Each structure stands twice: as C-alpha cells, then as structure tokens.
Structure 1
Amino acid sequence: MEQAEILLVDDELAILQMMTAVLRKEGFSKIDTAADGRSAVAACAAKTYDIVLLDVMLPDRSGLEIAPDIRRTTNAPILFLTARTSDVDKLTGFAVGGDDYIVKPFNPIEVVARMRAQLRRHLNSAKSAPAAEPVGTAYDYGRFRIDEAAGTLTVDGTETNCPALVFQLLLFFCKHPNRIFGKSELYERVWGAHSYSDDNTVMVHIHRIRERIELDPSKPALLVNVRGMGYKLCAPARESGA
C-alpha cells in the first residue's frame, strides 16, 4: 500500500507541504502535487494514480468541476477537501464521482486513515479482478450484466463506465439477490468500515447505480427501497416451463 501513487491537489502550499510530510512519515513516498484544476486533470491523464486528494476551491476550476474529467481517466478513489459543510455540498461531491468528503480544518492523521481505507479497498479490488474463473464471476440480470473477473458492467448490451465503489456495491447486491440490507450494514460490508459511516454516502451510491441500470431511476424496479428496512436487488423472474 505504501507504494501507492498519490496526487494531492490544493492551491494552499501549506496544506500540500503538510500532507506530503505526514504521508512520507507514514511510509508513502510516491506523492505528486498540483495547485490548480488544469494541472490536476493533466496529471491524471498522463499518469495512473491510486488515490487523489482533491480540494474543492481551486483558482481556475473547482474540484467538483474537474472530478468528472478525472473520473473519465481513472477509477481511483477521490477524496474531497473543503471548507463547505452543507449536506448539499457533500451530496454534490459524491454525485460527481467522489468517494469521501473531508471538511477543513481537518486532522491530517484522520485524512491518512481515510486514505488508507480507500486504498485498501481499491488495491484489493484491483488484485482480485484478473482472476480468470470461468464460473460464478458474472451475474446476468437481463437488462444488465456485471462481470466480477473482468470488472465490467454491461447495460442493454453496451459496456458502461462504473466507478470502483459503485461497481462493488452493485456486485454485492448481485451476490445477494432479494435480500434487504440497511445503510449501516451496506457501509460496513462494502466500504469495509463503520467509523466514518454516513447515510448520504450509501444513498448517493444507490442513486448512481440506479442511473446506470434502471429504465427510470426515479421509479426503480430493480434496486428497490423497502421502507423502513433498506434496499434490495430484485432477481430476474424465471420463466416457467410450458
């Protein structure tokens, strides 16, 4: 994990220096920095990063504006840094491709802990993807098909871009069809921790799944909400023999 490629994006030199020093003290050595949105997008296009720590307020384009550009070139976790604290801002951050949202002022050790948690999930997912198992790696739900080994989501015959955590959450549901899971259980089972559990995180990722697999995301028929209990993925109906 300490060999992970890290990109820090912030227009405050003091924050870049502090986080670089803390990360190096924690054993990380492959750290690049950028001070504006244009440089960050260019860096991600030129190099493969394992994680991006992205400030929201940048001098040219905001972190929220460039996140979709970064997401088009990588599925690496994106952690937003911001002084904004409203739920709307947090939901926006998740909606544009973020995986975590850290409010300034922050404890740098907590930031590193969150980065480690995201890296662990991302790197473990990358390691498991090449396994060429012929059975049990793909789940066909009619309208969509998800292949665990290939790391692909196909909707109506077309391969669809799917960020890592959205993919992992959908895969989890596919492995447990017709079972109801509450938000806290989903967070623990998919995100792998409960210390930083946030209902909004699960809700936003549910919405991002629905945008991909539902005919009408506002009226979901596949990934449904069971009032007061949680969410379940409805398995496709089996045709009975004549």
Structure 2
Amino acid sequence: MPAKILIVEDEPSICENVVYALEADGFAVSTAATGQSALEQVKAQDFSLIILDVGLPDMTGFEVCKAVRRSHSLPVLFLTARSSEVDRVVGLEIGGDDYVVKPFSPRELVARVRAILRRVSAVPLPALRPDTAVPLVIDDVRCQAIYYGTALNLSRYEFRMLRAFAAHPGRVFSREQLMDHASEEPDASMERTVDTHVKTLRARMRGVRTGLDPIVTHRGMGYSLLETWPDA
C-alpha cells in the first residue's frame, strides 16, 4: 500500500495543487478543510504524514498538531504563509517535522515529504518519476541540503548556491547570479570561485548518487539544476 498523506488546507486552489503533485508521485491522499475534520480523520484512518496549514478557519495548525501529538506520532509538515523565525521555531518545537512557506514549489513539497518519511517511517515510498519530484530537499531551518535522503556536507557558499538551484530547477544561473545568492558581499574574487564551488557541489552529490550529474553546464551562460530526474 502506498504511503497515505492527509492534507489539511482550507484554500481550494492550494489543496488541489498539492493533491495533484502527491497523487502524480504515487501517494494516496485525503483532504480536510478544518482542524476538527482533520482530527476526526486522524482518529478514523491510518496516515503516514500530515501536511498541515497553520491558518485554518476553526483553529490554528499549531493547535491541531498539539492535539494529534497527544495520541499519534505521525510526522507533520507545516504549510503556511507565515515566514518569521518565531513561527518556524514554534512549529518545530511543538512537534512539527518540517516547515514550508507559501508560495512554494509542489516539486519541493513532494521531495520534503519523501525526505521526512525516509527519516521517520518504514512505509515504502513510490518510486521517483522522471517528471514529478526533485530528490533534493533544502532545510532552511537546519541549513541542510538532503540529496536522495543523505545530508550533504557543504560550506555556506555551496549551501546557498544549491538552495538557489533547488528553488528553480532547470533555470540557468549566470556566475554573477550565483555569486549574488552565495555571498552577502559579492565581489569579483567571489565570482571567480563560482566554478570551484560548483565543482565541489558536483563531487559531493556524485558521492551520494554515482553516475548522475545533477548540475548542468551551459557554455557561455552558467549552470542549472536538472529539471527531469531518473527513476530512483
């Protein structure tokens, strides 16, 4: 049986996009538009993970998470428009496993779901499909990059570059743009080291997935992250 995900989101368009992304990737999905409905479904069904909006019409997602935690240990991924550090910390401290801020990439969300389930669950995951999920998760709270379930050992510049790539798979970044993303005070010397950082990123990612080059060189233009990925 595929992993079953409960989406708790009161905005129909957002809910539909998340449902489509997860179902296209092989997950079974249920939805709820209120906190009370979510709690009733958690009591009646077995879920592998909850995607939980913080701003629900009847109670906050934080309150729902606390109620769930009283009787269940299933992982919770918060989905919210709140981006302040205080909200992120509160969400994680009350038992959340990850935190995604709107607007978000459905591909990134699916990748984060996969990463959480690999860490906390023995539930078998559906195979990655070439056009549905990027197997790279950027955890801004912990400043980690998770690639095919493995945390990469990156410098701050490499992490920031990879975060820029992951936010826009397929987009070509010039060296100057990558420099701007990587450094608080970019200068000419930093721009000359972009190639070195990209080389290191490739080496670290190939160490996890031998034979796959995730960063594409565009001669005379710059670099991009793969947009289409092979099966796991």
Which structure has more relative contact order (CA 8 Å, sep 6+)? It is 2
1:174 corresponds to which residue? none
1:30-109, aligned counterparts within 5 Å?
30-109=28-107
**What letter matches 1:12 in structure 2?**
E
1-structure distance, mates of 2:152, 2:101 = 18
Match of 1:15 in 2: 14
Structure 2 CA distance for aligned equivalents of residues 184 and 7 of structure 1: 27
Identify the residue that residue 162 of structure 2 maps to in structure 1. none
Cα displacement string for residues 149-196 of structure 1 (whole angstroms, at most 9, x for unaligned residues) = xxxxxxxxxxxxxxxxxxxxxxxxxxxxxxxxxx779x97xx84359x
Report % sequence identity. 43
CA distance in structure 2 between the partners assigned to 1:95 and 1:63 by the alignment: 13
SS at match of 1:31: strand
Alignment match, 1:5? 4
TM-score under structure 1 length normalisation: 0.51
Tell me, in whole angstroms, the C-alpha distance in 2 between the residues paired with 1:100 and 1:108. Answer: 15
> Per the alignment, do residues 26 and 71 of structure 1 end up closer, same or farther by CA in structure 2, a change over 3 Å counting?
same
SS in 2 for 1:117: helix
Q: 2:119 aligns with which of 105, 121, 129?
A: 121
Question: 1:72 offset after TM fit, Å?
Answer: 1.8
Q: Deviations over 1:21-61 (max 9, x none)?
A: 11111122x21100001011111111121000000000000
In 2: Cα distance, 1:25 partner to 1:70 partner:
27
> d(CA) in 2 for partners of 1:26 and 1:40?
23
Distance 1:184 1:12 in 2: 29
* Whole-angstrom distance in 1 between the partners of 2:14 and 2:41: 19
Identify unmatched segments of 5+ residues in structure 1.
128-182, 196-242
Q: Residue 193 in 1 paired to residue 192 in 2?
A: no
**C-alpha RMSD of the superposition:** 2.4
TM-score (norm. length: structure 2)? 0.53
The one-letter amino acid paired with 2:24 is K
Aligned to 1:167: none
Partner amino acid, structure 1, of 2:63: E
SS in 1 for 2:74: coil
* Contact 1:10–1:55 under 8 Å retained in 2: yes
Distance change in 2, residues 1:59/1:86 (3 Å): same
